[in-house]
């Protein structure tokens, strides 16, 4: 059987930080390396310095010795509730994925829900990624860990205010 990647997935956690603190870390894409298991850094593009619809950024990813980058375009910026972006792979690969993170107050804490939906993934690229990056066949545990780390970073932000 040829390995394939899931086309959709979602995870949810409750973290011990207020939504505004989680948003402060999430919406500053230059901080992603503090909490993501795969995206080690990101930079704003086109002179942007903050999240806004249409703004682009480049994320640098790594999994073991494999490294790649994706340009992303912010689709939804609704502080402090929702941040959504689309990744754009190189033309040669033709892959693209929508990512959405929603924040909801849960008492003094925050419920964070992250989901992804593959927009475009040609079959040869699907098989290549599923073979080279087998952890991508079930990303949900790693994504859940990302959200837990996001909450930990945000709790530090909240305690310093």
Query: CA Rg, the chain, in Å?
Result: 16
Domain residue spans of the chain: 8-160
pLDDT in the model for residue 161: 65
Chosen CATH of 8-160 out of 3.20.20.70, 3.10.20.30, 3.90.1150.10, 3.30.530.20: 3.30.530.20
Choose the weakest-confidence range: 13-22, 58-67, 81-90, 151-160.
151-160
Interval 4-52: pLDDT, tens: 999 999 999 999 999 999 999 999 999 999 999 999 999 999 999 999 9
Task: Give the helix/strand (H/E) hosting 23.
Answer: helix 19-26
Average pLDDT over residues 80-102: 96
Q: With 0.85 as the threshold, say if the pTM is over it.
A: yes
What pLDDT is recorded for position 111?
Answer: 98
- Which of 154, 135, 150 is closest to 13 using CA atoms? 150
Helix (H, G, I), strand (E, B) or coil at 146: helix
**Six token digits for residue 144:** 């859940």
**Helices assigned H by DSSP within the chain:** 19-26, 123-132, 140-160
């Amino acid at each position: 059987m040829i390995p394939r990647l899931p086309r959709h997935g979602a995870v949810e956690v409750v973290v011990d930080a207020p939504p505004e603190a989680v948003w402060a870390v999430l919406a500053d894409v230059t901080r992603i390396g503090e909490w993501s298991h795969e995206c080690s850094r990101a930079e704003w593009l086109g002179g942007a310095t903050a999240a806004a619809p249409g703004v682009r950024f480049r994320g640098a990813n790594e999994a073991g010795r494999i490294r790649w980058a994706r340009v992303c375009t912010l689709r939804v910026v609704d502080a402090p509730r929702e941040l959504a972006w689309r990744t754009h792979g190189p033309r040669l690969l033709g892959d693209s994925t929508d990512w959405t993170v929603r924040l909801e107050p849960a008492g003094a804490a925050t419920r964070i829900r992250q989901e992804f939906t593959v927009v475009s993934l040609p079959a040869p690229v699907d098989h290549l990624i599923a073979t080279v990056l087998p952890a991508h066949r079930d990303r949900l545990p790693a994504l859940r860990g990302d959200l837990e780390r996001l909450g930990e970073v945000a709790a530090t932000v909240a305690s310093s205010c």
